[in-house]
Amino acid sequence: MYKNKIPKASVYRLAIYLRGLEKLKINKKIYVSSPEVGKFCGIDPAQVRKDLSYFGQFGEVGKGYHIKSLVTNLKKILKLHHKKWKMSLAGVGNLGAALLSYKGFENVGFIIQVAFDKDCKKIGRVFSGVKIYDFKKMKEIIRKENIRIGIIAVPAEFAQEVAEIMISSGVKSILNFAPVILNLPSKIIVSNVDLSNELLSLPYFISK
Amino acid sequence: MYKNKIPKASVYRLAIYLRGLEKLKINKKIYVSSPEVGKFCGIDPAQVRKDLSYFGQFGEVGKGYHIKSLVTNLKKILKLHHKKWKMSLAGVGNLGAALLSYKGFENVGFIIQVAFDKDCKKIGRVFSGVKIYDFKKMKEIIRKENIRIGIIAVPAEFAQEVAEIMISSGVKSILNFAPVILNLPSKIIVSNVDLSNELLSLPYFISK
């Protein structure tokens, strides 16, 4: 079946297509072609067809992709269709607090269930509806809540240690905001969020 | 010359290649092939070659790309080689404060020069070395400082208004953290940072 040899980058792009299609759906379009998806998402149409072909035949000859069906299928493939995914946040500094109040996670099926900090002024308080616990209780609480996704928003020097505790508690994938490369077992999926990536292409357009 | 008909997405990918090559450089590699760049960056090798071909011939037959030269060339193409790009930040809430203390911008040649908020408890104070001004002075100060890049970290309902003021002050491109689509002239380049995008592909890997 399709579980073997699918490049990680194809899976990441499925998420990009999903976001793009959801925007197209708002415009009341029914069908869309791979060049249209490609243009909308900034990805080569041949790449779009190749990525989708790993998971099945979604296009209809002469019509293209039925947007609503493709959205449903992509959500199923990405395991986004049936439940809210619980997340655990480590670090409630400025960035952590911003993430707690960020509405975008819940819109796509994710929720920060618990948060951890070492600052005793924060421990026991509730930020944006989420209770802050002592770092020392991380292992126990993540296990009890059966949480599989961790968000790291601690300073760079603590990120590795925190990631290891998360993994030993059952976390399978990590969204890492700390500007450091984590050294973790290859079965753990790490998404590094680098806020400066988006900036790098702007001067090109300014200078034109 | 190469200024016409280059897809925006190719320019964005140049930035991805640049980040990838800088990481490879640390490993003391001298040459790299397009399949290696592609694998490292999660992009099809044919796409890598096509993107680079818009800007010149960078590969050497039988050797691949000379990493150091390619980095220098990419920085020149992206206008990242000669100066720090000054930025203006609107909104010093949790996210804005996190961005002010974020070290990643300066590492790649960008600096937040001024910040704006409407909270009189923040106006006049200095956060992470950056002075906070009253929103009302935004137009005057952005013009005086000749700033071309704006960062929007205000709540969604104020983002459009703030973006318009920035543009009327001379800002040419915007990094938008507000979860809203800005309606701006097409000549203005907007990068929308959606913190939830990275999350969408994680459940697929967890469930495998």
Alpha-carbon distances of A203 from A153, B87, B132, rounded to whole Å: 28, 11, 24
Q: Enumerate the H helices of chain A as residue ranges.
A: 8-26, 34-41, 45-53, 67-77, 94-101, 104-107, 138-145, 156-168, 202-207
The shortest C-alpha distance from B63 to chain A (Å) reads 26
CA–CA separation, B97 vs B93, rounded Å? Answer: 6
Model pLDDT, residue A1: 44
User: Directed axis angle between helix A8-26 and helix A67-77, to 10°?
Assistant: 140
Over residues B33-46, the pLDDT tens digits come to 999 998 888 788 88
Lowest-confidence region among A48-52, B80-84, B90-94 = B80-84
Distance, in Å, from the CA atom of A35 to the CA atom of B40, rounded to the nearest integer, reads 25
Report, as an integer, the average pLDDT of B14-40.
86
Contacts of A11 in chain B (CB under 8 A): 201, 204-205
Token digits for B108? Answer: 């790649």
Sorted by where each starts, the structural domains of chain B and their CATH numbers stand as 8-77 (1.10.10.10), 85-192 (3.40.50.720)
A172 contacts in chain B (CB < 8 Å): 205-206
Name the closest residue on chain B to residue A105, using Cα atoms: B196
Q: Check A78 against B200: CB less than 8 A apart.
A: yes
- Most B CBs within 10 A among A53, A105, A191, A200, hence the mutation to make, goes to A200
For residue range A136-152, list pLDDT tens digits in order.
999 999 999 999 999 99
Contact A193 B198 (CB under 8 A): yes
pTM above 0.90, yes or no: no
Nearest CA in chain A to B97: A94
User: What ipTM did this prediction achieve?
Assistant: 0.83
Contacts of A8 in chain B (CB under 8 A): 42, 201, 205
